[in-house]
Chain A
Amino acid sequence: MPETLLDKLWTRHLVQAESTEAPAILFIDLHLIHEVTSPQAFDVLASRDLAVRRPDLTFGTLDHSTPTLPANETGRLPYVTPEAEEQVNKLISNCAKYGIELAGMGDARRGIVHVIGPELGLTQPGKTIVCGDSHTSTHGAFGALAFGIGTTEVGHVLATQCLLQRKPKAMRVRFSGALGPGVGAKDMALAVIAEIGADGGQGYAIEFAGPAVEALSMEGRMTLCNMSIEAGARFGMVAPDETTFDWVKGRPHAPSGDAWDAAVADWRTLTSDAGAHFDREVTIDASRIQPMVTYGVSPDAAAPVGASVPAATTKSAEAARAYMRMADDTALQDVRVNRVFVGSCTNSRISDLRAAADILRGRKVADGVVMLVVPGSEAVRKQAEDEGLDAVFIAAGAEWREPGCSMCIAMNGDAGAPGDLVVSTSNRNFMGRQGKGVRTVLASPATAAASAVVGRIADPRDFIQQEAV
């Protein structure tokens, strides 16, 4: 029987196969934890006097509740509330108590959980990877079975290194053709979500395939897999190839020497076999994808940047238009921008920052627009500063911040003001996501930077063409 990549990853990790009565017991190779979704799980462990079964397969970071402004002159970090600081301290003490490695404040490895896992080489093809965070699908870019879990399940993994899971159905999304200039992985992600809907991937694991996916960098593949959950799919994945192996090689936790060769030989088998059955197949012509932006309060309300807001056909869509203050037929490029955010586990990697800097170099953020650039990790920050990207952002009038989730989830104090229109490289345009009453427009780093310069939603290709002349 030809197998899908999902089949292969699933079978390898079965402690016990599923039956009518019970889900499979799946072994977890890597458990990433952060401050927000772990404290209640550790409390369960403590109340039952349980140990962490495999601290060696567990790794912690601080990202959601952490400030992105530096410490003040007394060395104190500007936490949004004492509760946020307490939450951070709780992860620090839990990691110390249970012997879990933590990339804490000041650690050069710290950053957004879905940025540092790959950076450190913890994320590898063939692994099962979980985290109490829905964007864990990001790690599927390496050919891993990676998915978000709730806090009860965080407790299950801490105590047993296993999860009870039903196998998802398999969907393949093929991107044929090649992307045009100024179009990237974020536009592919928004295009597929617009195509299948915010619930189109419910119950599925999505494998992204085709020439336009093979042509993506690892950063691009991570962006694409990251957004799987915005189509309702817990899992997104790409079969590993030379691009993957080149990216993983030499990273701190990657295998080395003979173990590396053996690992790569094994990883090469992690592809869907010819003729493998998918429960659903979707094909998208990559050459037709334009830079995409959202106009609603669900990520599937996405359209090419040159389009107008389509007519609302449901009460929910009407309510979304009212919240976004975008009437039917509004040209998206007429929409005024108050803030721009470049960051998040979707788009805070070095290639994202380069794409934004390429547009901002020698230009200024428009009057009245506040722009935040938040690197995904300390390593990304260092790389960007070595390349002088921070200077480009600062010269353009943007703020260059400390790594963290920042305005993607806006729980650390980084938020817009009520009514603000934010062009954001993050993943969710939900009402109030970036602050109460804030209107979010999702876009790629290039589109976000172009919009910052123009002061309205803008097409990054206008800048690229300008340079080509």
Chain B
Amino acid sequence: MAVEPFRTLTAKTKVIAVDNVDTDQIIPARFLTTTASDGLGRCAFHDWRFDEGGTRLPTDPFGADDMADTPILVAGANFGCGSSREHAPWALRDFGFRAVISSDIADIFKSNALKNGLLAVEVGQDVHAHLLQNGGCTLTLDLEQRVLTLDTGERIAFEVEAFARRCLLDGVDTLGYLLGQQEAIRAYEEARQ
């Protein structure tokens, strides 16, 4: 299915200054018995937000049920490490996040995020340190230009895999693209036999 296109986003950040935020933090495994992919926002960072009975913890670093006002998540190094569960970006999107920025983002999580309209951006150490120290600042992510504009006005170039970028910009249906390669796939299968 085509995802909602992503072109530019000007919004505030939410900072989680913790390294190695793994997919079990993003969505604990006990929620993975679902057979759906929607409505997982309440499961996002569940055990950081709620106690056993579902009451909000006083230490909840998010403090709200929807991150729509701070849809850019800035996190410590190695964000999204661990499992391949696509439930992680599903939960973050449903929680209101539209982008995640870190110094490095785990390979499988990044791949999954980009397929679900969650822009994953890696920045250098200096920019990362600045963002971690300035929670709530307003940034602009311009995917067309691949430029991140900081609250200071400084413009930082970032990389996004070219095909994933095109899919996000234009809402390209990746499965449709692959299905369009049937001839080549058939030729490969025949050559291998």
Contact = CB atoms under 8 A, between A and B. Distances in A.
Interface string A191-206: 0000000110011000
A455 B96 CA distance: 45
Contacts of B24: 428, 430-433
9 contacts: A40-B36, A64-B32, A134-B84, A148-B84, A160-B181, A166-B161, A234-B107, A431-B24, A433-B29
Interface in B140-193: 161-163, 166, 174-175, 177-179, 181-182, 184-185, 188-189, 192
B108 interface: yes
Interface stretch (B6-14, B62-70, B74-82): B74-82
B18 A316 contact: yes
A134 B108 contact: yes
A410 interface: yes
B33 A428 contact: no
Contacts of B1: 44, 47
Contacts of A171: none
Contacts of B184: 15-16, 25
Contacts of A53: 185
A411 B161 contact: no
A283 interface: no
B119 interface: no
Given A21-B163, A21-B166, A155-B175, A149 B33 contact: no
B63 to A, nearest CB: 19
B138 interface: no
A357 B100 CA distance: 46
B20 A39 contact: no
A428 B22 contact: yes
Interface of B: 1, 17-20, 22, 24-25, 28-30, 32-37, 47, 52, 76-78, 81-86, 104, 106-108, 111-112, 115-116, 161-163, 166, 174-175, 177-179, 181-182, 184-185, 188-189, 192
Contacts of B189: 27, 161
A375 B52 CA distance: 31
Contact of A234 (B29, B108, B162, B166): B108
A432 B29 CA distance: 9
Interface stretch (A79-87, A177-185, A255-263): A79-87
Interface string A141-160: 00000001111110110011
A232 B106 contact: yes
A16 B181 contact: yes
A21 B81 contact: no
A370 interface: no
A432 B28 contact: yes
A15 B116 contact: no
A133 interface: yes
A134 B83 contact: yes
Nearest to A20: B162
Closest 4 CB pairs of A and B: A150-B112, A39-B35, A150-B86, A199-B78
Interface in A58-79: 64-65
A132 interface: yes
Nearest to B182: A160
B29 A410 contact: yes
Contacts of A161: 185, 189
A229 to B, nearest CB: 8
Given A162-B185, A202-B106, A152 B174 contact: yes
Interface in A9-34: 15-16, 20-23, 25, 27
A314 B19 CA distance: 9
Contacts of B19: 298, 314, 316
Contacts of B81: 198-199, 232, 298
Contact of B116 (A16, A23, A152): A152
A199 B78 CA distance: 6
Interface string A87-131: 100100000000000000000000000000000000000000000
Contacts of B76: 316
B188 A15 contact: yes
A164 interface: yes
B60 to A, nearest CB: 15
B179 A160 contact: yes
A48 B37 CA distance: 17
Given A44-B1, A64-B32, A315-B17, A428 B82 contact: yes
**Interface core residue of A39, A64, A80, A433 (most chain B CB under 10 Å):** A433
A37 interface: yes
Given A297-B20, A431-B24, A132 B84 contact: yes
A341 to B, nearest CB: 15
B188 A27 contact: yes
Given A199-B77, A411-B30, A164 B17 contact: no
Contacts of A428: 22, 24, 82
B181 A148 contact: no
A87 B35 contact: yes
A280 interface: no
A80 B189 CA distance: 42
A239 interface: no
A302 to B, nearest CB: 13
Contact of B25 (A80, A202, A430): A430
Contact of B185 (A36, A47, A160, A298): A160
Given A149-B111, A232-B81, 11 more contacts: A25-B185, A87-B34, A87-B35, A150-B86, A150-B115, A152-B86, A164-B163, A315-B17, A430-B22, A431-B25, A432-B47
